[in-house]
Each structure stands twice: as structure tokens, then as C-alpha cells.
């Protein structure tokens, strides 16, 4: 079974050539203004809006992951369309993208299923928070295998246990998907998102709950819990809002990317 594309042509281009133009554009802009961190991160936070809005922010994190040499990534994102309890594990054999299919890591699927008693709920796996990551993965991490996890109502501590299990494997990494505040004025969005950015940068879970409005808050909190437990630190790569692309400052959405590294390697 293949996990088919559900938001191609909406959140991202359905044609390979158009995707390539996006990635080349993002890379050119970044390289004219900054240099990529020379780190080997195994965990990142990335946004999941349409590429025209958040693709630049996400692309930086994936370029950082290129240095990791990791071959298996677990993509974790919130469910926007289906309400359910717990975490759904995608059991597809592969994931479709405009660049071709990404193979699933069936060994890791079975390990996660057995260790954490995860099951597959079909409806959440037409989810954009995870799917928009797949073209980035296929382009920047060409030989990687993936596993998709979509969560509904669940405690962050449970997802943190999953993240710990994954990151303790030398060959595995984690991609946490979230957007930040939604539909505030640019001024208000910047204020709210500053709380999220500070919480992520400082691994401050208490601060996360005092004004941050990330739609993937559960995944972010889980990542911060794991970072604290595994002695990782966090570095913000990019922050911007939809206003940077649309010029609409009345109803904006915020986006962030960040990477995590062991304190001993910094």
C-alpha cells in the first residue's frame, strides 16, 4: 500500500519541475544572506503551510539535515482533519511524492507498533502537517526511509517517549511539524510567536504554556521534554510569517524552523 498524496497542487506543486524551482529559489535567497550551520542534527522542528508561505523556513532545516547522514526519519505532526485519541501509525509500504516514492521503514514501524501499542487509523493519514514534509525529504534526503505519525488528543509525555526511543537509535531522526499563531495582526502574531521562539530556544516548557499558540503544541512540548532529558540544546534557524509572502498584515500565520544538538557537541 502507498500513502498517496492528498494536498499536492494545493500546499505544494504537484509537478517535479515546479518543486525544483521552489527549492532553487529558497536556496538562492538563503545563500545570499547566510551560511548553513555545519552540524549533524538528528531532530528538527519545521512548519507545514503552503510552500509559498513556509517553504523557505522549512527548507533551511532540511538542508541542515543533509549533513546528518541519517537514513530513517519519523515525521510527527498534528491531525487537522480527524479528531481521535492517541497517535496513529501509518502502515503504508511507501509514500508518494512528485519526485517519486519514499520507502517506509517497516522494521521501525513494527518496533513502534509493538513497543508503544500503536495502531493505524486511516483518516488522519490524509494529513497536510506531515505530507508537506515528504517532498522536502525526497529532495534533500534522497535515500531516507520514513515513518509517519499523526497525533490527536494525547499527552506530550507519551510522544516524548517515542522521540526518546527514536533518537537513541544511531541511524534514526525526528521531524516535528508545527505552525505558530494563526490569523492575528502581524504585530500581535510577532508578540505571541516570540513566546514560542523563546520557549523552544530555552527548552522552557512553562513558557510554552504562557502565550504560545502553535497548532502542533503537543509535538513541540514533547520535543522539548526529550531535549531536556537527552541533554540537547536548540537553535532557531528561521522565523517569519505569511505576511512576508502575502503582504497581508491583518491575518497572518507564524512559522519557525529549529534544530537540536547534544550539548557536548556545541
Distance set, CA 23 to CA 63, 145, 150, 242 (Å): 10, 21, 26, 18
- Name the β-bridge partners of 76: 149, 176
- Can you give the residue range of the structural domain that contains 167? 2-265
**Number of structural domains the chain divides into:** 1
Q: Please state, in angstroms and rounded to a whole number, the distance separating the CA atoms of residues 192 and 188.
A: 6
The predicted pLDDT at position 259 comes to 98
pLDDT at 263: 86
pLDDT for the residue 112: 98
The pLDDT averaged over each successive group of 10 residues in the chain (266 residues) is: 95 97 97 95 98 98 95 97 94 96 97 97 87 98 96 98 97 98 98 98 97 97 98 98 97 98 79
Residue 266: per-residue pLDDT: 55
> The whole model's pTM is what?
0.97
Instruction: Sheet with 2-3: list strands edge to edge.
Output: 2-3, 94-95, 102-103
Distance CA 91, CA 252 (A): 35
Please state, in angstroms and rounded to a whole number, the distance separating the CA atoms of residues 223 and 233: 11
CATH code: domain of residue 84:
3.40.830.10
Amino acid at each position: 500500500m502507498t500513502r498517496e498524496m492528498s494536498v499536492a497542487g494545493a500546499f505544494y506543486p504537484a509537478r517535479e519541475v515546479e518543486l525544483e524551482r521552489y527549492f532553487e529559489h529558497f536556496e538562492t535567497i538563503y545563500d545570499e544572506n547566510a551560511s548553513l550551520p555545519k552540524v549533524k542534527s538528528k531532530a528538527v522542528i519545521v512548519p507545514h503551510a503552503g510552500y509559498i508561505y513556509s517553504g523557505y523556513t522549512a527548507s533551511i532545516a532540511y538542508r541542515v539535515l543533509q549533513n546528518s547522514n541519517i537514513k530513517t526519519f519519523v515525521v510527527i505532526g498534528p491531525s487537522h482533519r480527524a479528531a481521535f485519541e492517541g497517535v496513529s501509525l501509518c502502515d503504508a509500504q511507501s509514500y508518494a511524492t512528485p519526485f517519486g516514492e519514499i520507502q517506509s521503514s517497516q522494521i521501525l514501524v513494527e518496533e513502534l507498533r509493538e513497543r508503544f501499542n500503536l495502531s493505524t487509523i486511516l483518516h488522519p493519514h490524509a494529513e497536510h502537517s506531515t505530507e508537506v514534509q515528504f517532498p522536502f525529504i525526497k529532495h534533500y534526503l534522497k535515500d531516507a526511509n520514513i515513518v509517519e505519525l499523526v497525533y490527536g488528543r494525547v499527552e506530550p509525555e507519551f510522544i516524548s517517549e517515542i522521540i526518546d526511543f527514536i533518537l537513541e537509535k544511531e541511524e534514526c531522526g525526528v521531524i516535528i511539524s508545527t505552525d505558530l499563531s494563526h490569523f492575528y495582526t502581524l504585530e500581535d502574531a510577532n508578540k505571541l510567536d516570540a513566546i514560542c521562539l523563546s520557549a523552544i530556544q530555552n527548552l522552557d516548557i512553562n513558557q510554552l504554556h504562557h502565550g504560545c499558540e502553535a497548532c502542533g503544541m503537543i509535538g513541540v512540548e514533547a520535543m522539548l521534554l526529550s531535549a531536556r532529558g537527552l541533554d540537547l540544546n536548540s537553535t532557531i534557524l528561521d522565523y517569519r510569517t505569511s505576511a512576508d509572502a502575502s503582504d497581508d498584515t491583518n491575518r497572518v500565520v507564524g512559522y519557525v524552523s529549529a534544530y537540536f544538538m547534544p550539548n557536548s557537541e556545541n
